[in-house]
Amino acid sequence: MVNSRVVSMKTADFNNFLLKNNIHVFTLDDAARILTKDKHYSAIFLARDKWIKKAIRGIYYTPEASIYGIATSIISPSYVSLISALRFYNLTEQIPNTVYVVSKKQHKGIEVNGTRIEFLKVKPSLMYGYAKVDDAFVADPEKAVVDMLYLGRFEEYALEAIESGKLNYEKLKRYAELSGSKKIMQIVKKVVSEITEEPDRMEQQTLSRAKSGLRYNLLIAIKPKWAEQILNGNKKWEYRRVAVHAEEGSKLILYASGPLHAIVGEATIEKVLIEPIDLLIQHTVKEVPETAEELRRSFEGKRIGCAIKVVNPIRYANQITLEDIRKEIPDFKPPQSFYYVLDGTPLMKTLYRRLIEKAIGKDDLDKRFEPAKALLSNMSSDELEIVAGLLYLMQEKGLNEYDAELKLHELKPQLKLEDIWKGTNTIKKLFLTSELRDKIMGELKDELDAWDTASNISLKGSA
């Protein structure tokens, strides 16, 4: 309500007062207080003011008012909900020609500036989950979904919003419980569980750590023919039937299933889409060798699917077999679909170490470099990645140790210089003498080419 008092106004003064005070929707009582006149005089005054429009008896608005602001001023308390709220948050492509308002009071529908406003009555206990946004009260998207299910309106769009992956599922489940409807709780639980379904214990353990902000990678099981298509650049998207939580820049590590049973390469994750199947296929099918019909069959029985966009695929010069991995991790089990693998975990350390061992020559490490072998086995995944990057810069780019250190820091500023310096010392310990280092590094060309991409170092054509 407006409490300011102004003595005797012209319409221009009155309008300027509204603008200055950001008053876009107001009542006849508000106008009487501003004008310091009775309601009869104020009603006549407003009728003569061509800038002011009347929504219903006693409710007025200015051209600055939004239709949502007008709609939620008719009854108090009330809020915009259902598909109107989803549209407000850009969670649906539907453009409703009606604004749906939820309130604990009954009111007939009205029309304002060609837009229909419909009021839906709910019990007082359901008046939660909304907030003021600009000049209107609007439901949280999660509450809009619960209202749609509760009122039986636009249920297909409610499910589509849940499946979009853009809602806060914990909030959605809490709002469903507050509704008191077992039917709504069951629907929400079922659909959310389909989306957030986690394939195995290893994923569950690492996902909680990944959500804490640590970088994590995906080790996926994939048929050899599709792994080959990714590695040769023909397949830009990899699909999963359950939602994948991955950040840009993480690694997608390819475990080729039988008959290979080996990690054959990796790529960098650019983005992840979680969408209804038809929309997912429409957005990705032009960049994969599969046909739209083949993709639909692979998602049979699912309403939503997941697609992972990959870039910079690299083929390991030497595959890392299941036997190689189990020498380091005896109880390792290949993924059925995918694992989350955090940097620094035994699997990532094994991956980096095996690549470097195969590049240097495992026999040389066994026979001639026992101290170097011990050093290598105790290195962290970060240390291994730094060593690989420095090797690439010195061998392929011809940089000396000092320049290689500076270049690596420039390319990967998140690395500390002191850690890079330690990497240079590690290389000296690994190779013992410059002559021996040069001899061994001369045999590393293929593996170092792989590390150009595997370590996310893009130096093609640079000095």
Task: Give yes or no: residues 207 and 335 share one domain.
Answer: yes
| Residues found in the chain | 463
Task: Check whether residue 164 and residue 213 sit in a common domain.
Answer: no
445 and 319 in a single domain? The answer is: no
SS3 state at 77: coil
To the nearest whole number, what is the mean pLDDT of the chain? 79
Residue at a domain's end among 163, 196, 229: 196
Q: Which residue has the higher pLDDT, 174 or 395?
A: 174
Paired residues of 101 in beta bridges: 80, 119
Q: How far is CA 457 from CA 145, 398, 460, in A?
A: 45, 15, 9
Task: Note the pLDDT tens digit of each residue in 297-345.
Answer: 888 877 788 899 999 888 876 788 888 888 877 877 788 778 777 665 6
- pLDDT at position 201: 39
Ordered strands of the 53-56 beta sheet: 25-27, 59-61, 53-56
Indicate if 428 and 336 belong to the same structural domain. no
> Is 104 a domain residue?
yes
204 pLDDT above the threshold of 60: no
Enter the pTM of the model.
Answer: 0.44
What proportion of the chain, given as a percentage, has pLDDT over 90?
29
Indicate whether 97 and 137 sit together in one domain. yes
Share of the chain above pLDDT 70, in %: 76
Residues 278, 294, single domain; the answer is: yes
- Please report which confidence band the pLDDT of residue 121 belongs to, taking 50, 70 and 90 as the band edges: very high
Q: Do residues 192 and 162 lie in contact, with contact meaning Cβ atoms separated by under 8 Å?
A: yes
Q: For residue 248, what are the CA distances in angstroms to 268, 412, 444?
A: 8, 15, 29
Over residues 24-37, the pLDDT tens digits come to: 899 999 999 998 88
Provide the pLDDT for residue 344.
59
**What is the DSSP secondary structure assignment for residue 338, as one 8-state letter?**
E
- Whether residue 102 is found in the same domain as residue 192: yes
What is the total count of domains within the chain? 4
Q: Is the pLDDT of residue 369 over 60?
A: no
Q: Does residue 5 fall inside a structural domain?
A: no
Distance CA 251, CA 264 (A): 13
Are both 284 and 358 inside the same structural domain?
no
The verdict on residue 147 lying in a domain is: yes
pLDDT at 230 over 90: yes
In this structure, is residue 3 part of a structural domain?
Answer: no
pLDDT, position 194? 64
- End-of-domain residue from the set 342, 362, 386: 342
Which of 322, 342, 362 is where one domain is finished?
342
Q: Which domain holds residue 85?
A: 67-196
**232 assigned to some structural domain:** yes
Query: Is residue 459 domain-resident?
Result: no
- What is the model's pLDDT at position 359? 52
Check whether residue 333 and residue 207 sit in a common domain.
yes
What does DSSP assign to residue 234? S
Q: What is the pLDDT of residue 92?
A: 80
Question: Are 208 and 332 in the same domain?
Answer: yes
Rounded to an integer, the average pLDDT of 380-406 is 75
Which are the contacts of 121, defined by CB distance < 8 A and separation ≥ 6? 103, 104, 105, 106
Is the pLDDT at 39 greater than 50? The verdict is yes
- Shared domain check, 338 and 216: yes
Torsional class of 354: left (φ above 0), alpha (ψ -120 to 50), beta (otherwise) = alpha
pLDDT of residue 375: 64
Instruction: Flag whether 300 is in a domain.
Output: yes
* CATH number, residue 221: 2.30.130.30
* Residue 247 in this model has a pLDDT that exceeds 60: yes
Residue 358 has a pLDDT of 54
- Does residue 28 sit in the same domain as residue 87? no
20-24, 117-121, 164-168: range with lowest mean pLDDT = 164-168
Is 361 part of a structural domain of the chain?
A: yes
Task: Choose between 252 and 431: higher pLDDT.
Answer: 252
At 146-174, the pLDDT tens digits run: 999 999 888 878 887 887 767 888 899 99
Instruction: Read off the pLDDT of residues 181-200 as tens digits, 9 standing for 90 and up.
Output: 988 998 888 877 765 554 34
